[in-house]
A and B are shown apart, each in its own frame.
Chain A
Amino acid sequence: MRPVRPRRAPRRAVPPRRTGAASLAAGGVLVGAVVATALLSLVWTPHPPEAVDTGAALLPPGGEHPLGTDRFGRDVLSRIMAGARVTLQAGVSAVVIAAAVGVPLGIAAAMAPTWLSRLVLRANDLVLAFPALLLCIMLSAVYGGSTLTAMAAIGVATVPLFARLARAAALPVLASEYTAAARAAGRGRVAVAVRHVLPNIADVLIVQASVAFAIAILAEAALSYLGLGTQPPTPSWGRMLQEAQGLLSSAPLLSLWPGLAVAVAVLGFNLVGDGLRDLLDAGGAREG
């Protein structure tokens, strides 16, 4: 997607307001909270997240169970905490897969002859026609639903975003005089790509990574909601919401917690992305 931002301050001479720092701070707090929760859940949760206690089913929030219990008597807070791990795993692996494949591909496309570069772009567009969720559903028809399938599919679906961005950002760097000087001094293509192109496009890529992280979290939650992502008994936010939906009239809060958790995580990564984009002025990253 093209960068869409005003070239000059529109109307009046109001100085453009920079909201980057505020976004970054707010996003950082939210992301920090999710990461801290996930780490904490490795060593401590109020109750074992998978422990069933049918005698204590559907307890309201309070007392020993701050967020209540689900219909099997499992502690909701513990499950939300453990669910943060799955969420972060999905995000990290999707972004790592997408960046590891997409960035070299994009830079290579920028350095390649025009026809090859266009071919890569067309291939990109083709992969983009498969939304992450659709790709995941297709793969889970073959392999059955699992966290692994979900993460691989989300990663593959995100590759084109990185490839396209890396290519677009690399082109001006490759046209610069210092790159020409490096080439004239005898540096090879790979050396130029690693020493000159990569550091110069890193800011744009970091913004993209944080946006892609948010997309991956949403996709994983949707897949688990559909029963095609993380399988029980491992707690995941999407699955929790799906299980709670049948109890919407008797225990509505049960649906709220996992939904809120997803929203907080996605909001956090989106805000970090927005803030970084504003501060780094990495206009090449996608808007919206």
Chain B
Amino acid sequence: MDFLNGLVTLLNFVVIPATAYGAQLAIGALGVTLVYGILRFSNFAHGDTMAFGTMAVILVTWGLQALGVDLGPVPTALLALPFGILITVGLVLVTDRWVYRFYRVKKVPPVLLVIVSMGVMFVYNGLTRLIIGPDDQRFDDGARFLISARDFKTWSGLDEGLALRTSQAITIVTAVAVVAALFWFLNRTRTGKSMRAFSDNEDLALLSGISPERVVAITWVIVAALACVAGTLYGLDKSFKPFTYFQLLLPIFAAAIVGGLGSPLGAIAGGFVIAYSEVILTYAWKKVLVYWLPESLEPEGLVQLLSTDYKFAVSFAILVIVLLFRPTGLFRGKAL
């Protein structure tokens, strides 16, 4: 019984939150890694693209709510998501046309593109703050829990509850769907294959008649959609605040690099590695250990390895370890 109680606590406080967070990071890192693979630069504006996309979703959600539309137990934001994606795609394509294309045609070194993306980051950040302001926004409606802690306790007769929030369940389901669709697209369709060819060897791809502008445009569309989905899921799960999205840049980049920049599979693995490490290292293990250890060994303190404020330090430490021992990442990305 004690073992089960400990296990449920572990599931409730570590596995479920870390899986949801990992899925959000993975979708974010996929966007970064795709830009890196096709356009060959680290996109610093990705966090703010996510923020902008989420903001679009929030505005549409408010509109829908004002019209009296709702999906019952499921958050209205899911209905607003396609519109949000369309708006984000529009913004990103305009940015590419007005900003990035000029440099692409001139074939400037990648580090200059990074600086350009920094300018784009400022502009997106400013836009988001101008439109919705810098404050916290909650846009989660519908049923809060899929399984609530109390229901679980009465059902199982255990002392510890297991709660699954709707937003967490939606995150995981959406993430699986998005990743499956992306991989089907990259591996099975003609356009997806041309994208991979372009990423592997640009010159050869050009010789075989692949239109670079088309590949780039499709990449941006996918990246914008991924950013919008990742941002909305994160916002549903936690809350929306433009500055937090900017800060997500670090774990997202860490995830992409740990997995191997340019490798979609690596981005997903990296996302979960980062999320699990963050949660495991900042969780106070006392609650689990009281069940699992004999009473004589019961810990006095919280058994928290790091305070939660140091979660960035965790992504950073993992990043450094990977850079030191395996600079190409777990899945042999193209970077070195």
Chain B associates with chain A: no
Residues of chain A at the chain B interface (Cβ within 8 Å): none
Residues of B bordering A, CB below 8 Å: none
